[in-house]
Structure 1
Amino acid sequence: DLREAVADKRVIEPVAAIRAARTVISRAEIQRARLCRHGEGLAYLLTALRRDGQFVHVLVDATTGRVIGK
């Protein structure tokens, strides 16, 4: 199902999710972006490393590109 969503272009590209995440964590380096199920839809879970050494997670809706959680 996840592979089909990516192949059918029903989700945004990972780079678009990273851009959205940077709007809320601008001073952090993205370490990982994972496409996963979230509720009824799909979301990207991004893991970023802040300059103070702490990891932070950002959830981006995979269809709209909106940040839905931090």
Structure 2
Amino acid sequence: MQAYRLLTDEDTSAFCHKVTAALNKGWELYGSPSYAYDHATGRMRCAQAVVKQAEGDYSADVKLGEL
């Protein structure tokens, strides 16, 4: 199965650590990162899509963060 996740967080080192952790678990970057202003919090937010080939068939019960 091909798995997809969109990682998001505020523009802090925590976001970089989240992406780095995913890469070290075998996820691959998919496309360019995004950067946008969150009016509700008054902070910048980052997003990065990642993909991964995984065993099994997809279902809505798959916990993508555990792949």
* TM-score, normalised with respect to structure 2: 0.40
Bigger CA radius of gyration: 2
**Higher RCO structure (Cα 8 Å, ≥6 apart):** 2
